[in-house]
Amino acid sequence: MARPRHETFNKVKTVAENRRARFDYAIDETFEAGIVLQGTEVKSLRFGEGTIAESYAEVKDEEVWLINSNIPEFSHGNRFNHQPKRARKLLLNQREIAKLHGAVARKGMTLVPLSIYFNGQGRAKVELALARGKNVRDKRDTSKERDWKREQGRLLKEHG
């Protein structure tokens, strides 16, 4: 059974969001992945700390890893604190991992994390996107379209 698209993910509390990803990449497909965390990392995320702006995911040895994500040390954690920028394993089905690995290897796509959030059961999840990088012209077109939509809304509000 296929996983639902990102519109139907049960996002109760969004902790970190990569807003730049939707501008820099053309999103093809999104996946919901669990993330393996240590105790103090969960506590830091519950306080709303953490960034994924410069992070990416890669497939190594039939496992998916989140690289370069920053979850700062927990303020009340003593010697049991974690390393802020360590690689974190993502939990996906074998079929999804194979699909991601094939797309990255053959089609030259990238695995980009879009957000880290807590679902309805209180588990930390990562919204992972299979994406293709945009060139400068595509970015310009996206920006023009966004500005036109904004202007269209203003005109409808004034004259409607």
pTM recorded for the entire structure: 0.79
Q: Which own/partner contact pairs does 2-6 have at CB distance under 8 Å and 24+ positions apart? A: 3/31, 3/32, 3/96, 4/32, 5/30, 6/30, 6/32, 6/114, 6/127, 6/129
- Domain extents in the chain: 6-134
Residue 81 tokens read as: 């604190």
> Which architecture, in CATH terms, is 6-134?
Beta Barrel (2.40)
In a structure prediction context, what are the per-residue pLDDT tens digits for the chain, which is 160 residues long? Answer: 565 554 567 788 899 999 888 888 889 999 999 999 988 888 888 888 889 999 999 999 999 999 999 988 887 777 778 788 889 999 999 999 999 999 999 888 899 999 999 998 889 999 999 998 888 888 898 889 999 999 999 999 888 7
Amino acid at 146: R
* Model pLDDT, residue 149: 93
Q: Among residues 68, 31, 75, 67, which one has the least CA distance to residue 49?
A: 75
Residue 138 tokens read as: 């595509």
* Model pLDDT, residue 159: 86
Give the count of alpha carbons within 13 A of 123, CB side only: 13
Q: Contact at 8 Å (CB) between 90 and 111? A: no
Q: Among residues 60, 67, 49, which one has the least CA distance to residue 128?
A: 67
